[in-house]
């Protein structure tokens, strides 16, 4: 194969976001497997930065031992974009003209698109991630037959915009992280002309964990539920806090809730004072793994996930998971692996928690089921093989 160009709106080694972390792992492992890869991005710093500011220098740099090409962005009408985006965030309908504003006043780089156009013969494929940004929308249209999309679809207002349909329905290939994402895409779009693959996401499976080390370091002896990730309403953490608070009122238990990660949400002061809810914030990665191994189970309450690395980590640490039934992806992972349970309301949360606490041997077996599931489906050697086979099928290259 010739080069594979991976296109993302912004990129640096320090960005912790899901798409950026996924691309970091995928490109690095492909590169180590002997595949010639390049990163194509804009000069914007990151998602939370000003999309009108060229933070990085234009030109070619090196990342992970291979090139990253950065291109200047086109100035955008922030006010017009924000007005449309506010409606989409509230699940309000948007007109065709408003959809055009969304894609045209998104983060865009005509210079990036022109580079793809004039250098397409040097590449076997261009791989775009994620779906909702201007670099993807406009870049996919340059040479669609050579384009593969890793969309990271959620069941959200953006995915239903008609403006996306003619673009996504006429590309070379599309890669999903999980079966429910595939199902969503095929409900919304006509994918009959697109090569599709439900390939998953790579996970480092050689992590180690030590439950006793966590308990000793942090002085926590009681049983606990763990949440690991960003603490905000978008991740539905407030529901977990609310349900846990109700649970300890209704049960004679010393169970705690441990929160790990950034962000801030309002926590019940009395339970914080009693150290029934403990927010550890950011901790070292090894401490995180040790905490997951020490937990009764990991609760992932988010309703909008296209994958979930913390679920995979929990299983690799030998512990089961509890997920929200409103998230098709995480519910499918829990069911397919027999590595966890799911809840939709408080009483289901209560029942699942009771079950985990009363059936420790079966809970441990669920954790082991999950560990086997991750290693069989998402270990990096497995992922690299699946992706390369898919890339060859789309590009027509045999080598």
* Average predicted confidence (pLDDT) for the chain: 95
Q: Report, as an integer, the average pLDDT of 85-110.
A: 97
Residue 319 belongs to domain spanning: 211-377
Q: Which residues contact 381 (CB under 8 A, 6 or more apart)?
A: none
**Residue 164 located in a structural domain:** yes
Q: Report, as an integer, the average pLDDT of 325-335.
A: 95
| pLDDT bracket for residue 17 (50, 70, 90) | low
| pLDDT bracket for residue 21 (50, 70, 90) | confident
Grouping H, G, I as helix, E, B as strand and the rest as coil, residue 182 is helix
Q: Report, as an integer, the average pLDDT of 131-153.
A: 97
pLDDT digits (tens, 9 = 90+) for 350-368: 999 999 999 999 999 999 9
**Residue 399 located in a structural domain:** no
Query: 16 with 154, same domain?
Result: yes
Query: 22 with 133, same domain?
Result: yes
Query: 116 with 234, same domain?
Result: no
**68 close to 37: Cβ distance less than 8 angstroms:** no
CATH code of the domain in which 151 resides:
3.40.50.2000
Q: Where are the beta strands (DSSP E) in 116-253?
A: 123-128, 147-149, 173-176, 195-198, 224-228
Distances (CA, A) of 147 to 27, 28, 125, 229, 361: 16, 20, 6, 32, 48
Query: 219 with 172, same domain?
Result: no
Q: Report, as an integer, the average pLDDT of 320-330.
A: 96
Nearest to 374 by CA among 331, 317, 329, 322: 317
Q: Give the pLDDT score at 373.
A: 97
Q: Give the pLDDT score at 19.
A: 80
pLDDT digits (tens, 9 = 90+) for 218-227: 999 999 999 9
pLDDT-above-90 percentage for the chain: 90
**Residue 166 located in a structural domain:** yes
Both structure tokens of 317: 């640490």
**Residue 236 located in a structural domain:** yes
Residue of higher predicted confidence among 397 and 279: 279
**Residue 345 located in a structural domain:** yes
Query: 373 with 383, same domain?
Result: no
**Residue 386 located in a structural domain:** yes
Query: 150 with 229, same domain?
Result: no
Query: 194 with 97, same domain?
Result: yes
pLDDT digits (tens, 9 = 90+) for 232-252: 888 999 999 999 999 999 999
pLDDT digits (tens, 9 = 90+) for 147-186: 999 999 988 999 999 999 999 999 999 999 999 999 999 9
Alpha helices (H) in 128-201, listed in sequence order: 134-139, 165-168, 179-188
Distances (CA, A) of 60 to 26, 56, 66, 398: 20, 11, 10, 29
Distances (CA, A) of 294 to 215, 225, 236, 254, 284: 7, 9, 23, 15, 15
**Residue 9 located in a structural domain:** yes
Domain count within the chain:
2
Q: Give the pLDDT score at 377.
A: 96
**Residue 383 located in a structural domain:** yes
Say whether pLDDT at 342 is over 70: yes
């Amino acid at each position: 194969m010739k080069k594979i160009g991976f296109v993302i709106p912004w990129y640096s080694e320090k960005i912790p976001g899901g798409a950026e972390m996924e691309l970091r792992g995928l490109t690095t492992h492909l590169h180590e497997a002997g595949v010639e890869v390049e990163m194509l991005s804009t000069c914007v710093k990151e998602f939370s930065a000003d999309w009108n500011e060229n933070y990085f220098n234009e030109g070619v740099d090196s990342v992970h031992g291979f090139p990253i090409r950065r291109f200047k962005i086109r100035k955008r009408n922030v006010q017009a974009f924000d007005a449309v985006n506010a409606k989409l965030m509230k699940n309000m309908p948007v007109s065709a003209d408003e959809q055009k504003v969304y894609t045209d006043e998104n983060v865009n780089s005509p210079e990036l698109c022109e580079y793809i156009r004039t250098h397409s013969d040097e590449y076997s494929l261009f791989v775009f991630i994620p779906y909702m940004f201007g670099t993807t929308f406009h870049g996919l249209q340059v040479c669609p037959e050579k384009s593969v999309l890793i969309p990271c679809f959620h069941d959200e207002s953006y995915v239903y915009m008609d403006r996306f349909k003619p673009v996504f329905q006429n590309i070379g290939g599309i890669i999903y992280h999980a079966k429910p994402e595939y199902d969503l895409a095929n409900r919304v779009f006509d994918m009959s002309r697109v090569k599709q693959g439900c390939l998953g996401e790579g996970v480092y499976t050689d992590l180690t964990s030590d439950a006793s080390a966590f308990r000793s370091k942090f002085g926590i002896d009681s049983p606990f539920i763990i949440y690991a990730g960003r603490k905000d309403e978008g991740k539905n953490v407030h529901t977990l806090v609310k349900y846990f608070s109700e649970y300890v009122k209704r049960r004679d238990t010393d169970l705690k809730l441990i929160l790990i990660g950034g962000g801030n949400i309002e926590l019940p002061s009395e339970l914080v004072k009693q150290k029934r809810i403990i927010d550890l914030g950011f901790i070292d990665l090894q401490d995180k793994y040790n905490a997951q191994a020490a937990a009764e189970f990991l609760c992932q309450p988010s309703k909008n996930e296209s994958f979930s690395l913390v679920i995979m980590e929990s299983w690799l640490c030998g512990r089961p998971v509890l997920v929200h039934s409103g998230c098709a992806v995480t519910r499918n992972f829990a069911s397919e692996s027999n590595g966890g349970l799911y809840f939709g309301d408080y009483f289901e949360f209560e029942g699942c928690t009771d079950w985990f606490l009363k059936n420790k041997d079966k809970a441990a077996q669920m954790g082991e089921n999950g560990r086997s599931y991750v290693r069989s489906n998402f270990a990096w050697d497995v992922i690299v093989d699946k992706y390369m086979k898919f890339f060859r099928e789309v590009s027509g290259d045999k080598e």
